[in-house]
Amino acid sequence: DGHGPIKVAGIYTVPVEQQWVSRIHIAAEAAAARGDIEYEFTENVANTDYPRVMREYAESGVDMIVGEIFGVEREAREVAGEYPDTAFLMGSSFKEDMGPANLAVFDNYIQDAAYLSGIIAGSMTETGNIGMVGGFPIPEVNRLMHAFMAGVREMREDATFQVSFIGSWFDPPKAKETAFAMIENGADIMYAERFGVSDAAQERGVLAIGNVIDTQADYPETVVASAIWHFEPTMDAAIAAVKAGEFTAADYGRYSFMDRGGSSLAPLGTFEGKVPQEALDLVAEREAAIKAGEFSVEINDSEPTSGS
Q: Is 16 in the site for another protein (CB under 8 A)?
A: yes
Among 138, 240, 249, 268, binds another protein (CB under 8 A): 138
Residues 148-167 that bind another protein (CB under 8 A): 162, 164-167
Q: Is 43 in the site for another protein (CB under 8 A)?
A: yes
Question: For another protein, which stretch binds (CB under 8 A), given 56-64, 151-159, 220-228, 258-266?
Answer: 56-64
Query: From residue 153, how far is each of 40, 146, 215 by CA, in Å?
Result: 43, 11, 24
Among 3, 34, 74, 274, binds another protein (CB under 8 A): 74
Query: From residue 283, how far is each of 116, 117, 174, 211, 294 by CA, in Å?
Result: 6, 8, 33, 17, 14
- Contact (CB, 8 A) for 224 and 79: no
Q: Which CB, 193 or 199, lies closer to another protein?
A: 199
Q: Is 38 in the site for another protein (CB under 8 A)?
A: no
Residues 275-304 that bind another protein (CB under 8 A): 301-303
d(CA 22, CA 9): 14
* Residues paired with residue 130 on neighbouring β-strands, in sequence order: 161, 189
Dihedral sign for Cα atoms in the order 217, 223, 225, 228: negative
Q: Which amino acid is at 52?
A: R
Q: Is 72 in the site for another protein (CB under 8 A)?
A: yes
Q: Is 146 in the site for another protein (CB under 8 A)?
A: no
d(CA 5, CA 240): 11
Residues 221-260 that bind another protein (CB under 8 A): none
Q: Is 308 in the site for another protein (CB under 8 A)?
A: no
Site string for another protein, 77-116 (x = CB under 8 A): -----x----------xx----------------------
87-91 and 129-134: which strand pairing? unpaired
